[in-house]
Amino acid sequence: MNATDTISTTDGPLAVVGATGQQGGAVVSALLERGAPVRALVRDPAADRARQLGEAGADGVPLQMISTRDIGRAAAAALLDPDRVPGGAVEIAGDELTGEEIAAAFAQARDVPARYEAMPVDVLPDEDQRAMFTWFAQLPAYRADVALTRELVPDVQNLRTWVEGRRW
């Protein structure tokens, strides 16, 4: 990077949600062209486009989430039958989505227009939120065992079913 290409938001990698999509992919390409370290947040790190980003120099990290209902159900299952959790600990997730897919899930579940817009972490209102989103960009970040989550909570909710169940 040269002096005009200063990264002011972080000294570490810049997280790009939806990195395999058209807009996110364009952002990743532009950042890599300027020599910036990039952490690509993608739904499927094994997908062809995600592997291409890795070959170009971006690190891939899936964006995972789980409903609070399912956190409770997984905890209850693990506490009531500890043998179900090898090693005594498990990271859990009910869904892995890009920002665009999150917006689409809200739009479909609520029949309202929705869109995703990426923002730098500097615009977040407090240090806790900035730390959380910075953590998403750093490996290991989430490494959920989705298969074990589904064993512990057979009816684990994905984002769309969670949104559909909300009374807003």
The predicted model scores a pTM of: 0.59
Residue 1, class by beta-carbon neighbours within 10 Å (0-12 exposed, 13-18 middle, 19+ buried)? exposed
Query: Which of the four pLDDT bands, split at 50, 70 and 90, describes residue 168?
Result: low
Domain membership of residue 2 (yes or no) is no
Within-domain flag for 111: yes
Between CA 76 and CA 68 the distance in angstroms is 12
Between 15 and 159, the more confident residue is 159
130 falls within a domain: yes
Residue 1 domain flag: no
Q: Are 147 and 96 in contact (CB under 8 A)?
A: no
List, for residues 99-112, the tens digit of each pLDDT value.
778 888 888 888 88
Total tally of structural domains belonging to the chain: 1
What is the domain extent for residue 55? 11-165
Domain of 102, CATH number, reads 3.40.50.720
